[in-house]
Structure 1
């Protein structure tokens, strides 16, 4: 019985060469897994961070929260502006905003209804991570039946009104987590492209300090 127990104990000891071989295989396997994990973490964020998409619905919802708005023109006329209806203009790389407007005040004998039509480019504001209107152009500010004196006043104040109406309104604000990955990769928002489905914000490497 003692001999048998010794033989059993002897057989349970792994062969030194076999143990070294298994340990080496395990080390190689762990190294390969680690390399694949690192590659996945490195490639996926870079591919994602090259662009950020904003849908037309997202912008429409953000703008609607800031309206209606009232503007006083020289103490003689008040304009009430309703939420813009945004339209994408991919060929011009711009957006169009069509707004319902009503006018009232001492210069007018009654309320007048009309429309305010503006198009604009877009810019990124890094201080608060927002997308804002830029290079505004007034296409039309129409109030049906308006008296000539009041109509001339609107022509004068039109560009200023467009600036106040849209430049103060945030079309979209990126969250800190939206920029966490590209910021970690040393990238920042650069160009904004208008497409058929929305905006595409692309990233570029940050300038060296």
Structure 2
């Protein structure tokens, strides 16, 4: 009987330490273990990466402000509305504008980060610029978006966030955009 009590106490401690992760794993096929990152946390992290300046061939600079993120679960992507100012030798003054982007997310194992990729730029809008200049900016738009937003870190997993999963031979896998945030699924580590 003492061995049985000791076993139950050890199992209870293990479940308490492992928290929800072991509970999810114990449910087997009904639930894949995952880690959720709420939108507010993503917004906070991305704000630290801006403002950002992108030079355009010595003609002008685009100064990007922190994006306002939105979840797009129907297409498994994030969207961002961004304020931008354009100024430089080719323009007489600074002009305020905006644009929208959509992007997917990928996990980078080397530093445990979730990063933007597969960026799709919406149209740049500058109400005070001449239409021809706005068209020029829109022609450069996809390249500018790629340069300024490629691989922007949206979240970094801490070792304590994944410790239980690491111990069970799991690693971050598919990232799903849900109405509540990002769900990072954990899958078996590849040999």
User: What are the residue-to-residue correspondences of 1:52-131 with 2, within 5 Å?
Assistant: 52-131=35-114
The reply to whether residue 31 of structure 1 matches residue 7 of structure 2 is no
Q: Please state how far the C-alpha of 1:149 moved relative to its aligned partner.
A: 4.0
Contact 2:170 2:188 in 1 (8 A): yes
User: What are the residue-to-residue correspondences of 1:124-139 with 2, within 5 Å?
Assistant: 124-139=107-122
Contact 1:187 1:203 in 2 (8 A): yes
Contact 1:107 1:150 in 2 (8 A): no
Between the two proteins, the alignment pairs up a number of residues equal to 180
**Structure 1 residues 186 and 60, CA gap change in structure 2 (3 angstroms):** same
Q: 1:132 and 1:144 mapped to 2: Cα distance?
A: 31
Q: Please state how far the C-alpha of 1:133 moved relative to its aligned partner.
A: 0.6
CA-atom RMSD, angstroms?
1.8
Q: Please state how far the C-alpha of 1:199 moved relative to its aligned partner.
A: 0.7
- Give the alignment's TM-score, normalised by structure 2: 0.87
Stretches of structure 1 lacking an aligned partner (at least 5 in a row): 1-27
- Post-superposition Cα deviations, 1:61-113, rounded to whole Å, max 9, x if no partner, equal 11111111111101101111110000111111111110111111122122211
- Post-superposition Cα deviations, 1:139-196, rounded to whole Å, max 9, x if no partner, equal 1211113224422331232112212222242100001111211111000000111111
Stretches of structure 2 lacking an aligned partner (at least 5 in a row): 26-32
- More moved, 45-54 vs 113-122: 45-54
Contact 1:130 1:171 in 2 (8 A): yes
- Give the alignment's TM-score, normalised by structure 1: 0.80
Partner of 2:143: 160
Partner of 2:29: none
Contact 2:117 2:151 in 1 (8 A): no
Q: 1:120 and 1:197 mapped to 2: Cα distance?
A: 17
User: What are the residue-to-residue correspondences of 1:3-14 with 2, within 5 Å?
Assistant: none
